[in-house]
Chains A and B, each alone.
Chain A
């Protein structure tokens, strides 16, 4: 929508695609289920990529949606950051929950990569049949990245968020997020280069 100011300049205002569902859930919290059904897989995905443990990912998903339901009256859609849309707000909650969970989990040994890779059966994977080796390589590469870079890549490639949305989730500008993603990609590219140079057994 274009809004005209006194100087006749036009400003692009983004409206949340979930606005009507959010309004409905505010009027009647039982209507929150529509938002839950829409985003449960996305939140679960993010949690699983971060925690690498399906049970921990389920616990975290439950935490996020229960918090979101409780905090919905406090959520205000804004045209600009910090929380321009319901999805961004939900992922901000998710990111904080992941940080808390990581802090708590430091006292315990981390789940192995193999455990996470064994979880998805053929029925669980939504995408086309994947080469298991390719999946393991991609996962291994992003696993070595620092937290923010890894989260940015997961949000970009798995959740298919725009750079702007990712910036809002991470608390960075769009330009800074673009550079962050590019640097993460360069790091992955270097790892791939090293991997291809290494002798194969």
Chain B
């Protein structure tokens, strides 16, 4: 069983919920365990606060001023990288050498690359052939 304080707190909480829900014009029935005569002081306090504490709204001028401040701040705020949409990164443009020496170096690079690829393929074929004979 719950201690008396907890029990009373739960009842008061349910009572507040019921009143606040009623405040939004939704039909509700108060819980049977709502604070009764023994807790009438708490019940009166709940009713006073529920009716007596109003909601205020900031002035229209202030609300628009702050909205403008936030818009300006948002313009310069970086988006969260984890949540930002993916960006397309263009491939780097390959610039061909303009001078004859540069063009020769490019050709050497291409020829060297082709020879290296050929040797690699031949090596792989050799290894495969030897494994197949064992």
**Can you pick out 11 interface pairs between chain A and chain B where the beta carbons lie within 8 Å of each other?**
A27-B79, A29-B75, A32-B70, A33-B67, A33-B71, A69-B74, A73-B80, A127-B54, A130-B54, A158-B55, A192-B41
Enumerate chain A interface residues (CB-CB to B < 8 A).
23, 26-30, 32-33, 36-37, 40-41, 44-45, 48-49, 57-58, 61-62, 65-66, 69-70, 72-73, 119-120, 124-127, 130-131, 134-135, 137-139, 141-142, 153-154, 156-158, 160, 163, 175, 178-179, 181-182, 185-186, 188-190, 192-193
Which A residues lie within 8 Å of B83 (CB)?
23, 26-27, 73
CB <8 Å contact, A120 and B6: no
User: Given A58-B62, A185-B12 in contact, is the A30-B54 Cβ separation under 8 Å?
Assistant: no
Which A residues lie within 8 Å of B49 (CB)?
138, 141-142, 153, 157, 185, 188
CB <8 Å contact, A181 and B48: no
The digit string for B10-54, where 1 denotes a CB below 8 A from any CB of A, is 101100100010000000000000000000011011101111111
Known: A61-B66, A178-B10; 8 extra A-B contacts, CB below 8 A, are A26-B80, A27-B84, A69-B73, A134-B51, A182-B9, A185-B12, A188-B49, A189-B41
Q: B-side binding surface: helix, strand, loop or mixed?
A: helix
Number of A-B contacts (CB under 8 A): 161
Q: Look across to chain B and name the residue whose beta carbon is closest to the beta carbon of A35.
A: B70
Chain A nearest CB from B22 CB (Å) reads 12
CB <8 Å contact, A137 and B48: yes
The digit string for B75-93, where 1 denotes a CB below 8 A from any CB of A, is 1010110111100000000
Q: B56 contacts the other chain (Cβ, under 8 Å)? A: yes
B53 touches which of A26, A37, A157 (Cβ 8 Å): A157
Chain A nearest CB from B50 CB (Å) reads 6
Which B residues lie within 8 Å of A124 (CB)?
56-57
Distance in angstroms between the alpha carbons of A27 and B16 in the assembled complex: 39
